[in-house]
């Protein structure tokens, strides 16, 4: 008896993404480091929300961008065999759409106030789903964040998005028993998975970034970044 099946023919977006992921898996020596951050302040908003569009993801993106500004080795790309370190953080945000996975970019994210990040993220996601993103909105990223938390996933191993050298995987918020003021308390925690190109970055450099990011999440405050002079 022949079983019935259907064929899911890949569209252009899926073909491009498949080629990039094969390149990533076969050409880049990848290592994934995992950590769990105390996200109590991040999840609660730290005393302020900044508007209806500001979510935990928005706050996290701002913290990631500001931390990357102190770790240029992580905020870099490999082009023609050279590692280019950037001061400006152009943050790619992996976005699932009905047509496939897209990675729109929030430019200079480390210098943006929380509400601007929220507005740009909402606009990029809406236009990504509608197939309206421009090429320049999907290129030039220096680091990518991919969030599987809404699906209940914890730690995982995302693939680096070439030519970038690192990607952060974000899992689902979860309650864990910890300490608050020296007393046992249930804390909201956030699983983090940093995959990096070990040919471009040493393990200690990646670990230092992940450690600083976890600390920044734990001490989150909703204040916008200072204006540049």
Burial class from Cβ neighbours inside 10 Å (0-12, 13-18, 19+) for residue 131 reads exposed
**Pick from 119, 137, 151: nearest CA to 55:** 119
**Pick from 8, 11, 229: nearest CA to 131:** 11
**Pick from 207, 121, 163: nearest CA to 28:** 163
Which of 119, 198, 211, 212 is the catalytic position?
Answer: 198
Which of 202, 211, 212, 223 is the catalytic position?
Answer: 202
Reduce the DSSP state of residue 16 to 3 states and report it.
helix
Give, rounded to a whole angstrom, the gap between the first and last alpha carbons of the chain: 73
DSSP annotation of 33 reads E
- Decide if 71 is catalytic: no
- Decide if 119 is catalytic: no
Catalytic residues: 198, 202
């Amino acid at each position: 008896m022949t079983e019935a099946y259907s064929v899911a023919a890949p569209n252009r977006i899926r073909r491009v993404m498949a080629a990039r992921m094969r390149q990533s898996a076969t050409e880049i020596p990848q290592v994934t480091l995992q950590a769990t951050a105390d996200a109590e302040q991040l999840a609660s908003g730290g005393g302020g929300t900044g508007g209806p569009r500001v979510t935990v993801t928005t706050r996290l993106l701002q913290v990631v961008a500001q931390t990357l500004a102190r770790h240029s080795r992580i905020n870099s790309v490999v082009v023609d065999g050279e590692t280019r370190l950037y001061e400006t953080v152009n943050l790619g945000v992996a976005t699932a759409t009905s047509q496939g996975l897209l990675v729109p970019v929030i430019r200079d994210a480390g210098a943006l106030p929380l509400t601007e990040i929220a507005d740009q993220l909402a606009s990029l996601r809406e236009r990504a789903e509608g197939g309206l993103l421009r090429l320049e909105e999907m290129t030039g990223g220096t680091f990518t964040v991919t969030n599987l938390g809404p699906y209940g996933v914890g730690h995982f191993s995302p693939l680096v998005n070439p030519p970038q050298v690192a990607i952060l995987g974000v899992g689902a918020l979860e309650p864990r028993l910890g300490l608050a003021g020296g007393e046992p308390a249930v804390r909201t925690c956030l699983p983090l998975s940093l995959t990096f190109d070990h040919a471009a970055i040493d393990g200690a450099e990646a670990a230092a970034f992940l450690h600083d990011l976890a600390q920044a999440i734990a001490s989150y405050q909703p204040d916008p970044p200072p204006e540049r002079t």
